[in-house]
Structure 1
Amino acid sequence: MSIKTANREVSRPEFIALIAGLMALNALAIDVMLPALPHMGEALNVANENDRHYVLTAYMLGFGIAQLAFGPLSDRFGRRAPLMVGIAVYVVAAFAAVFSPNFATLLVLRFVQGMGAAGTRVIATSIVRDRFGGRAMAEVMSLVFMVFMIIPVIAPAIGQVILLTGPWEYIFLFMAGLGVVIAVWTFWRLPETLVPERRRPLKPAVILDGFRIVLSNRMAIMYGLAGTFIFGALFGFINTSQQIYVDVYELGPLFPLAFAFQASLMSVSSYTNSRIVRRLGMRRLSHGAILAFTALSGLWLLLALTVPMPLWLFMTLLCGIMFMFGWTSSNMNSLSMEPLGAVAGTASSVFGFIQTVGGAILGTITGSFFNGTVTPIAAGYFILGILAIVCVLIAENGKLFGVGEEYKDGAPAAEPH
């Protein structure tokens, strides 16, 4: 498969890499910060260790809220123009953060940076939905996530290396520079995927109707909420990962390696999903994965409450959980977008807002209970896994592993028995 621009073709591998690169800007802005949190807290006089997490939370809130605007804008003006504006805001805010005189200013700039990054999340997903549906979309999104997950694998190590060469402000210069590279690549190589006849007027009635279509679809909204709970669990771990690996398990400078190992499993999981989703279907894979995710989280919580948890046991359980996360996220995102191709931009913005803001709030709440042990994080994973299962049951009328209508390459097709 190749996608044509006005004067060139974009191959399938380049298309996947470009979409992954756009989404990776967001992952980079979160994960590259982790080793720098103590340095920023000390430099900007942040007394409470748990308050350092607001550097991540402020970004996620801006990222989530702005998605509500980028969806309708991309449905009206196409994908390219709003995307370029978003990347520009991301780059300018990252550069300005270098000169933050205090913690409050840094949080404001992080919020603005998140607002710019919102365009990459909404529009990248919309572009994929413009071209693919159902299992085909799930396959492509899995490959995108596989490439995209390289950033969480290497970002903490990049942050650590940057801190060895200079102050924490250099991290923001790195983010701004990479944003410029992605912007140039996008400008020259990304095609416009929303044809003029499918664009929706930017009128209040039309925008509200788009939101109504999204919010009134039971299956779509319930899968979107299930993804929110799973993302909230992950964000709770990201918030406290530096404290867990450094303070609890005393890994010190090896923290980025441990984080990279965990993140790499999600990349492997996404690749595995891309290889089998067309044959097994999104429902079977995501339903089995969320049950395994919750069961492993329950075992983690039980052990954390009853016995001292050594590093090898913690890593073993988290490896299984992270692998299941890779199967749940891409398939549930595709299931939530499946029936909403006509309003893909608006749908992507609604689910992006719900999952980002909701996940950030849930993750921040989970992180605030950190007490020097892994028990609060384990409890967060288990409780949020249960809530995700409830949402899936509502979406599927109380039945798991059922046969539902899925789309292959944009055309409706019944899922094989």
Structure 2
Amino acid sequence: MFSSLGVRNYRLWAGGQVVSLVGTWMQRIAQDWLVLHLSGNSGVAIGIVMALQFGPTAVLSMPAGALADRFDKRKLLMLTQIGMAACALILGVTDTLGVATLGQVYALSLALGCISAVDAPIRQSFTVEMVGPEHLPNAVALNSMTFNTARIIGPAIAGVLITAIGTGPVFLVNTATFVAVLTGLLMMRTGELHRSERARGRSSVVEGLRYIRARPHLVALFTTVFFVSTFGLNFPLSLALLTKNTFAGSAGGYGLLSTVLAVGTLAGATMAARRKRPARVRQLMIAAIAFGVLEVVAGLMPTFALVAVVLIPVGAAQLTFSTAAMNIVQLSVDSSMRGRVMGVYMLAFLGGTPLGSPLLGWLAQVTDPRAPLVVGGAISAVSAVAAAAVFGAAAQRRVRATDDAVTTPDATAEVGVTR
């Protein structure tokens, strides 16, 4: 189940990530709560922060993927970690001193978004360099387990700390956690990394787009990821508004819902780590449909406790979907193109947030705080059904083409030679 942990470099990375990601989730909860405080409980304000934090992905993820294919990923990651730590430090100091404003939060969210947009494709494509293709599916699943373990611990700690001492110190704690991942990167044995051939030339981004366009399964997969991520994965927005405006809850309640969701995603990650066979498209689509339906159900639950209960299977379905998508993409592309492909993947995964978050925040404000969950889940399910139909039609065309080739004498001869 934990075969990738047998690789020393990956152990260092995973250990540093557990600590750093706990701090990251603490900051996310604290930032959402600070924005609600500074904006007078505005859903639009949270949507704007999410748009600023994830918007740079639309511009920077593909160039960042090209960087990942051309330069040393380990050194690039060290630079991005330092940049994110600096953003957390500035926010922590201004908030602790009581001089933080909504405009400052917006500016720091944009800066963090730019750094994160560069970090994401480099981080994702670095996994295979640490463990090699053999352990990649297990490492992707363990990355998800690490992420969601932190997602359980971080919000719980943040809820307690915010209630006790405020949001400012939470940002400062997050700053300190970056030391762990930087230490892990510094201690790696570079000679044991499975480095891929580095790309050259200014047209590398264009080459990446051409590579994807020539593979219809990647186009359909990225389209599904875009719709599910843009409208379905809106939990920082939807759970904060639901807790504050529907159930009149506190930061502790918001942290609890985030933790319960993470319990579900951790369960999904554990199942993915146990799975020995690579993920398939069918599994991806079933998970996406299940996620959308369950999210709608969560949004319709009448009590806080029932919402928390339904969020567990929601989290499991979400993680199954995202892990399957990541495995399919990473294992179906050439190593020399992996950074650029992951740049486009991260664009599909996060690039729609500037569109979805403000829209869903506005919808919640003019209708009901439950709307982001209900509408987002419905769009996710419908998009997955449509993508499944496209994949099914493509499979039928391949079968018919094979049958036609077999029944054609010349084609039959050609197939025989190919075999």
Question: What is the rounded CA distance, in whole Å, between the counterparts of 2:10 and 2:208 in structure 1?
Answer: 30
- Paired AA for residue 226 in structure 2: T
* Whole-angstrom distance in 2 between the partners of 1:175 and 1:64: 26
| Alignment check: 8 A CA contact 1:67 1:118 kept | yes
8 A contact 1:64–1:357 mirrored in 2:
yes
- Hey, what's the Cα distance between the residues in 1 that align with 2:4 and 2:42? 52
In structure 1, stretches of 5+ residues that fail to align are 404-417
State whether residues 4 and 139 of structure 2, in contact with CA within 8 Å, keep that contact through their aligned partners in structure 1.
no
Aligned to 1:59: 53
Deviation of 1:331 after TM superposition, in Å, equals 0.4
1:291 maps to 2:284 = no
TM-score by length of 2: 0.80
User: TM-score if structure 1 supplies the norm length?
Assistant: 0.80
Opposite residue 215 of structure 2, the aligned amino acid is N
Alignment partner, residue 162 of structure 2? 163
Deviations 1:192-230 (A, max 9, x none): 7463x70111x2223321332134322123212222222
- How far residue 101 of structure 1 moved from its aligned partner, in angstroms, is 5.2
Q: Distance in 2 between matches of 1:296 and 1:68?
A: 32
2:348 is aligned, of 329, 351, 354, to: 354
* Structure-2 separation of matches of 1:142 and 1:293: 18
Give the distance between the partners of 2:46 and 2:142, measured in 1 at CA: 33
For the residue of structure 2 that corresponds to 1:33, the secondary structure is helix
Query: 8 Å contact 2:35–2:46 — kept in the other structure?
Result: yes
Identity across matched positions, percent: 14
Q: Which residue does the alignment assign to 2:410?
A: none
Tell me how far 1:330 sits from its aligned partner.
0.5
* Contact 1:62/1:114 (8 A) holds in 2: yes
Q: What's the offset of the Cα at 1:39?
A: 3.0
Q: Are the counterparts in 2 of residues 33 and 159 from structure 1 also a CA contact under 8 Å?
A: no
2:184 matched residue in structure 1: 185
Q: Separation in 1 of the partners of 2:270 and 2:184? A: 24
Identify the residue that residue 35 of structure 1 maps to in structure 2.
33
Task: Give 2:88's aligned residue.
Answer: 94
Higher share of residues assigned helix? 2
Aligned twin of 1:407: none
2:303 pairs, out of 291, 294, 310, with: 310
Distance 1:28 1:70 in 2: 26
Say which of 330, 333, 339 aligns to 2:326.
333
RMSD of aligned C-alpha atoms?
Answer: 3.3
SS of residue in 2 equivalent to 1:209: helix
Q: Over residues 76-108 of structure 1, what are the superposed CA-to-partner deviations in whole Å (9 max), with x where a residue is unaligned?
A: 112112111211221222223333753223212
Instruction: Provide the C-alpha distance between the structure 2 equivalents of 1:111 and 1:342, rounded to a whole number of angstroms.
Output: 30
Cα 1:324–1:179 change in 2 (3 A) is same
Does the 8 Å CA contact 1:237/1:367 hold for their aligned counterparts?
A: no
* Equivalent position of 1:382 in the other structure: 378
Q: For the structure 1 residues 181 and 24, does the alpha-carbon distance in structure 2 shift closer, same or farther, using more than 3 Å as the test? A: same
Asked whether the 8 Å contact 1:35–1:160 carries over to 2, the reply is no
2:405 aligned partner: none
**Residue 241 of structure 2: aligned partner:** 243
In the other structure, the counterpart of 1:175 is: 174
CA-to-partner distance for each residue in 1:252-285, whole Å, 9 max, x for gaps?
3333123211211101111112212x24743343
Indicate if the aligned counterparts of 1:95 and 1:172 stay in contact, CA closer than 8 A: yes
Corresponding pairs, count? 385
Residue 20 of structure 1 contacts residue 145 of structure 1 at CA under 8 Å; is this kept in 2?
Answer: no
Residue 352 of structure 1: CA displacement?
Answer: 0.7
Contact 1:293/1:325 (8 A) holds in 2: yes
Aligned partners of 2:74 and 2:126 also within 8 Å: no
Instruction: Give 1:105's aligned residue.
Output: 104
Does the C-alpha gap of structure 1 residues 229 and 66 become closer, same or farther in structure 2, counting only changes over 3 Å?
Answer: same
Structure 2's unaligned 5+ residue stretches are: 400-419
Residues 315-326 of structure 1 mapped to structure 2, 5 A cutoff: 315-326=308-319
Residue aligning to 1:200: 199
